[in-house]
Amino acid sequence: MREIQFREALREAMQEEMRRDESIFLMGEEVAEYNGAYKVSQGMLEEFGEKRIIDTPISELGFAAIGVGASMNGTRPIVEFMTWNFAVLALDQIVNHASKMTAMSGGQFTCPIVFRGPNGSAGQLGAQHSVAYESWYANIPGLKVVSVSNPYDAKGLLKSALRDDDPVIFMESEVAYGEKGHVPEEEYLIPIGKADIKRQGTDVTMVSFNKMMHVAMNSAEELEKEGISCEVIDLRTIRPLDWHTILESVKKTNRLVVVEEAWPFGSVSSEISYRIQKEGFDYLDAPIRRITTADSSMHYAPNLVKAFLPSIEKVVKAVKEVMYAEK
């Protein structure tokens, strides 16, 4: 199977769906003439023209509103944010309009729109450019939230998102666009709401998503050297969340560690921990552990970036604590 970059997988998904459905168009800052801030939309202006690949002003609230209105009138917009850190300016349209439109109209209007772009930290970019927002959007009924870790999942899930009749929050990673992965040339779709077991294991269940999957997988490799077998689950979709896959894994391993690039209070890992202790308490042989960012803003200094983010060392320590808790 061929290997392509993360950005190429996203581009292929958009191109294939735009060729299939003329109601789909892409809009955002620098998506057209500049080929995208991260070159995700490279070449798409030449293929689809300026009516379907649209450069916008630096006004997230404004062009998100145009996208929501367009989706109510028979089109399927893709709204690209240069970073989800900037998308907070468009929260009114996403939260008060896109997510509520079907309910408020009594089903008369749907809002088939995909909001996509990079999420979370990307190194030394300071506090205002380093936040992971999955839990914010997952808290909102009416939105579907996808957060991908590799090119294969990115393409299959973006294609599914573009065919969905609900608004979809699609989260990527700024540092992952150049990563390569195996992606089939033939068409495929990945259903929204289905997690994937990336690594089979017997001793502890490790759950993660987006670029923290790399931390989880590398931690599992380190732990295997010490005889600890980790089952690693990539959530892929945050809402709806695949509770069944997590619970069935915990039934097998009897331990759970969640790795997330977000603040600890009110996080995705908080919800997972609550749900599993509620429905799977009898299967747990140790308290659930979660590894999140520090409960603070992320500062610029490299030593503080390291202290802020989850790491292999932190994950390995947490797994050993749940492995030997009864001792």
Which 3-state string (H, E, C) describes 3-16?
EEEHHHHHHHHHHH
Catalytic residue among 12, 29, 97, 129: 129
User: Distance between CA 271 and CA 31 in Å, rounded?
Assistant: 35
Give 178: exposed, middle or buried? Use CB within 10 Å, 0-12, 13-18, 19+: exposed
**25 neighbors 54 (Cβ within 8 angstroms):** yes
**1 neighbors 184 (Cβ within 8 angstroms):** yes
129 is catalytic: yes
**23 neighbors 160 (Cβ within 8 angstroms):** no
Catalytic residue among 12, 17, 60, 179: 60
Structure tokens at 221: 């490799």
- Where does 21-146 have alpha helices with state H? 44-48, 60-71, 91-93, 101-104, 134-138
- H helix or E strand, kind and range, residue 245: helix 243-253
60 is catalytic: yes
Catalytic amino acids?
60, 129
